A and B are shown apart, each in its own frame.
Chain A
Amino acid sequence: MRSPEWLRSVGLAQSETWARPSSARDRFAIVLALVTIVGLATLFVFSKGTSFLMPGPLASAHGTIEKCSTCHTKSGSGQLSWVRGLVAADSHADSKACLTCHKMPETAFNAHSAPSDVLQQSTERLTKIAVATPQPQSARAQSFAFPTMDLVAGGVTCATCHQEHQGVNFNLNKISDEQCRSCHVVKFDSFDGNHPTFDNYPFKRRTRIVYDHAGHFGKHFPEVAKKDAAKRIPETCSTCHNSREDKLVMAVESFDKTCSTCHLDQITGKERVSGPKGIAFLSLPGLDLESLKKKNAAIGEWPDASEAALTPFMKVMISRNARARALLQTVDSLNLQDLSTASDEQIEAVTDLAWEIKSLFYKLISDKASDALGDLNIGSGAKLSPALVADLTASIPRDVIISAQQQWLPNLATEMASRQVTSEQDRDGWSTVTKGSPIAVSASPAPSGESDPVQAAASVTPDVSGGADTAPAAGGEWSDTATAASDSSGDSSPDSGTDGGDQTASTDTSSSNEPDSDDDTAANEAKKPVKFDPPACVVRVLGQCLVSNGSEGGTAQPKGAAGKTDAAKSKAANSNETSSADKMPPAMRAGLRDVMQAADADVTRANAKAAHGATDSGRRMVVAENQPASKSAGQSDDLLYPTEEELREMKALNAGGGAAAGPPGVTGKASTSNAPPEAGATIDAEASAGVPTARSQTAASPVISIESTVDAESWADYGGWYRQDFAMFYRPAGHKDKFIYSWLFLTGPQALKAEASPAGAVFDYLTNKDAQGSCTKCHSVDDIKSKGRLVNFAPLSIESKQGRFTSFVHEPHFGTMDDRGCLTCHTLEKDRAYLKSYEQGNPQSFAANFGAVKKDLCQTCHSSTKARQDCLLCHKYHVNDAITPIMTTKVPTQ
């Protein structure tokens, strides 16, 4: 075949080709090749590292990286170690090295670093759009010749898009529209070409804050302006909205600057017309004592006047183990105030519930709230931090609980000390298991020990005295429950209760109270977990410490434990101190002393030495202070008999109707400020007459000696704790109330709609339409599939935009708007059922206040001849961002 002329014309001279190879030229060629090899080898030997192999400078952000192995993980530091890179290994190894500085989620190597389900949903949605979108030829060719599906399926490496060694000024984030297009099912030419129209942009979900723009503009604002011209009504959109520093979020101004004018009083309850303005937190639920008594239910003392219900918060606090949850399930189906038809099992459950409630009160008083509630079965089971418990209890003062206990359950310590404790206590924490409690129903406020003997006489298992006797024997109610209970259990058992129980108990008591019993006391002290300051927080969410660093010193051996034991011994020898009473200010101590004296007077007058073990710390302090160290067990009874002077004091107290007395829980007479003085006298008389009647505790509110027309609820107008009847209420202090927030935050994930639970009950209680605080009036509640419910406390933020593929910066567009301002793009749609969409939990099912933004509107500027229109202008690749962490620098030490 003849060659074309043009080929022949460029051919070499045949003479050259046919000539014998030039030996000189070949020799030179071989020498030059050898020189090249030797030169490169020399370079390897004498160069530092392998930097001479580098194909180009790194981008300025990576300019300080000197070692190749920093990024090329297979490359070592030696001159030839890079050869190891030729061996096949993890294709993502180098990309993982990138993630040591650039923090990414676990889905970092997915397309867009997005979760697989998100990508799948997106692909399904876009596949429908792709059918109607014409594809450019180049996109078709690319898909055909070099498909990306397999490439992406294996995980996208960082270097796929971020090509390094391109020079100092190279933009590593550069990615072309064609590269974006290669993966996407919708392949279009440009934004002003066949880019799909917007799908209800920018609304992906309903707004987190429930704010009906149309309703406010058209109704509320005019009404408020008409009613009170002084109130601040927004005039422009920017009164409430501003573009934050991050420029990505058109944020809402703070509550104080916007909504508080009209809505603050709704939070604090000032505008509440009916129902309590506070949230019932702790209560002593009303029980059908008559039925319980008939069925010999041993619940101990219980006020018969209570009509309160068990609060959902208490249910959460009680239901910390399976037994307690089962117990609550049983009780939930009952009307506690009518147990006439209850079965024996249900009665037993109610009995257990009563003791659980008592245990709860006891623990809240005897221990720190963080210890008592730290193991609440909420918050994914992790131990709650003391700070969080403080929020969950709104830092309720102990005195508030003590005060309530003294009125509602004055003999709580005695009862708790005498209760049997099973081994389950050790396993399940402080929850007490009731097994044939020796304390029978005593529907009485049981002030001190006054009525105890009477009740003991009337009770089914009348071993109150034994129980009372053992109270001091427990070394004080404030000591460890298990220890106290184990000490007292033997003494207070039904067997030993009647036949010489007194004596036995007395002996035990005295022996335990004797200074000689230093060893026991010290041993008890040593057994007690030493409490330290709260440990460091490990997991913190929204400012709340959810998980502490290890157990709170409960098991740790404290420093100088031996010394502490010694100290305990010496203290026990002197004063048998087990409470913090000595640490109280003198004034408080004085008050307590008065109360104790009054109580002792009662005890004496009732001739019930068991009452000596009454519950308040003040009395215990009296015992500790007044009892001579050398007194024997037998002598200890003398202390129970008041002196003449004390008797006179008691009489004087009785004559005063309790008005001047200390806390009524101690005296049991001056039970309420509303109660007439005669009431106390009557009760007293009844008690002293030995009538086994359930006294009507007509008022359980705190006794105040100062006349006031302000009721407790109004007194807490601006938030805080108050007590009414048989419940303790918390009144929200204002916006961002930590009490409500922390409960909603913790119970939300467990508040599955389809499943009733104590946590769910709290959540429902705080989010119902008439809930105090009215949080969910504005903060919407989302149902999260199988993950409970979530109150959207935070408005739209940059964080909430994580995971979104589209971003928009408002500021550059401000100059392009016409006279309509924001309404140029956001058209107000007045007739939409905006509020109705919040009646259900799906945030994706909604009707926006404003119309969607159209692509045509953007296209008026963003086209090939005007403003930018590349993909990355509006879409970001890493939807969850890649964060470069701040270097962790240790503080220099000496």
Chain B
Amino acid sequence: MILASSYRSAGRRATERSIGLRSVSSAGFLSSQSGQGIAIAALSGGLLWLVWIYGNGLRDPRYFDGWVLAGGMSLQLGFHIATKTAMLSPKLAMRWRHFHVFLGYLLIAAFISHSNFTLPDTSFEWALWASFVLVTLTGVFGTYLAWSLKAKRGIDERIGYDRIATRRAELAQEVHAVVVTTDPVAAAFGLPAQPYDAWIMDLYTNHLRDFFQGPQNLTAHLIGSQRPLKRLTDEIDKLSPYIDRQGQEKLNAVRTLVVEKDRLDFARVYLGLTKGWMFVHVPVTYALIVMAILHIFVVYAFSSGDW
């Protein structure tokens, strides 16, 4: 009983320390995603309609959507500055971040309208266009990462990228400790050891030791595949019917630790990507702002018609 309870506590500990899956109901998730999509589509459509009637009013619509774009970009830049200067409280920063993402989607419509649904013709226009597209794509990618982390598997938001290695080592020690632990009652009476522990040790030796030694399954995590995890859990599950109750509890603790390790690997991959896309998103935004300012000056210097 004591052993079983120790195995449970190990599993619970692991679960508590894990990056824990957030429970999001599929119905709520779908509705939230749909609501977001509909709102963005509606606002984008409204923007395009405004641009259309603006053009119908004998004005150059590029000025209208251009200033919508410039205004939106300015807000996004404001968010970046506020973040950098730590002016915002965590709660406010969270709201700003959500708005940053939402506005980013709307600006895609403004940008498409501003480029008049065509590709650029000249080098400067291409540079401007490519910068915006790069910023947008990295932003969308970052959003996807955040969404996939939460929607698919989730990670503990308290765990940073730098603590993953330490946590992985802890998990390795924990699983090793679980596996090597023998039945203290049998050992006290000098009874021969049950084969179950040996079988579990074999499982650890053949399948789990390397898994817990370092980051694993990078590709699978990138594509969101859980097949490697399933393979491991299947091995554990296959052994489970042939061992006694104590052994089963031990296997359950191991299983929990395997899942936790897999999530840690997932978190490592995604937190790494998150750091990576920001390395593109922010610097290119700086370059885009420089070119956008020049673009505005050039447009007004050469303007001929009405806006």
Interface on A for B, CB 8 Å cutoff?
Answer: 3-19, 21-22, 25-26, 28-33, 35-37, 40, 43, 52-57, 68, 71-72, 74-75, 82-86, 94-95, 138, 141-142, 145-148, 151-152, 156-161, 163, 165, 167, 176, 178-179, 181-183
Contact = CB atoms under 8 A, between A and B. Distances in A.
Contact of B298 (A13, A82, A152, A163): A82
B271 interface: yes
Given A5-B32, A95-B304, A146 B59 contact: yes
Given A11-B101, A33-B290, A82-B298, 20 more contacts: A4-B32, A5-B28, A5-B29, A6-B33, A9-B32, A12-B143, A13-B149, A13-B270, A16-B275, A16-B278, A17-B83, A17-B94, A22-B275, A35-B287, A36-B291, A83-B301, A146-B57, A151-B306, A157-B306, A159-B304
Interface of B: 24, 28-29, 31-33, 35-36, 50, 52-60, 83-84, 90, 93-95, 97-98, 101-102, 120-125, 142-143, 145-147, 149-151, 155, 157-161, 270-271, 274-275, 278-279, 282-287, 289-291, 294, 297-298, 300-306
B58 A176 contact: no
Contacts of B294: 40
Contact of A9 (B52, B150, B282): B150
A617 B191 CA distance: 168
14 contacts: A22-B278, A28-B283, A30-B286, A31-B283, A33-B289, A53-B124, A68-B302, A75-B302, A145-B50, A147-B57, A151-B58, A151-B306, A158-B305, A163-B305
B245 to A, nearest CB: 40
Contacts of A14: 90, 94, 157
Contacts of A16: 271, 274-275, 278
Contacts of B302: 53, 68, 72, 75, 82, 85
Contacts of B57: 142, 145-148, 151, 182
B279 A178 contact: no
Given A13-B155, A15-B158, A52-B122, A6 B35 contact: yes
A159 B60 CA distance: 9
Contact of A148 (B58, B93, B125, B146): B58
Contacts of A86: 297, 300-301
A743 B67 CA distance: 64
B58 A167 contact: no
B56 A55 contact: no
B76 to A, nearest CB: 14
Contacts of B97: 11-12, 17
Contacts of A95: 304
A179 B55 CA distance: 8
B193 to A, nearest CB: 45
B99 to A, nearest CB: 9
A36 B287 CA distance: 6
Contacts of B287: 32-33, 35-36
A-B CB proximity, top 9 nearest: A6-B32, A159-B305, A85-B301, A146-B57, A33-B286, A29-B283, A178-B56, A56-B121, A159-B304
A29 to B, nearest CB: 4
Contacts of A3: 94-95, 98
Given A18-B90, A142-B56, A146-B54, A32 B301 contact: no
A16 B281 CA distance: 14
Nearest to A92: B304
Given A17-B83, A33-B283, A156 B157 contact: no
A145 B53 contact: yes
A66 to B, nearest CB: 15
Interface centre among B29, B52, B122, B275 (most CB of A within 10 A): B122
Interface centre among A9, A68, A84 (most CB of B within 10 A): A9
Given A11-B101, A13-B157, A75 B146 contact: no
A71 B302 CA distance: 9
Contacts of A84: 301
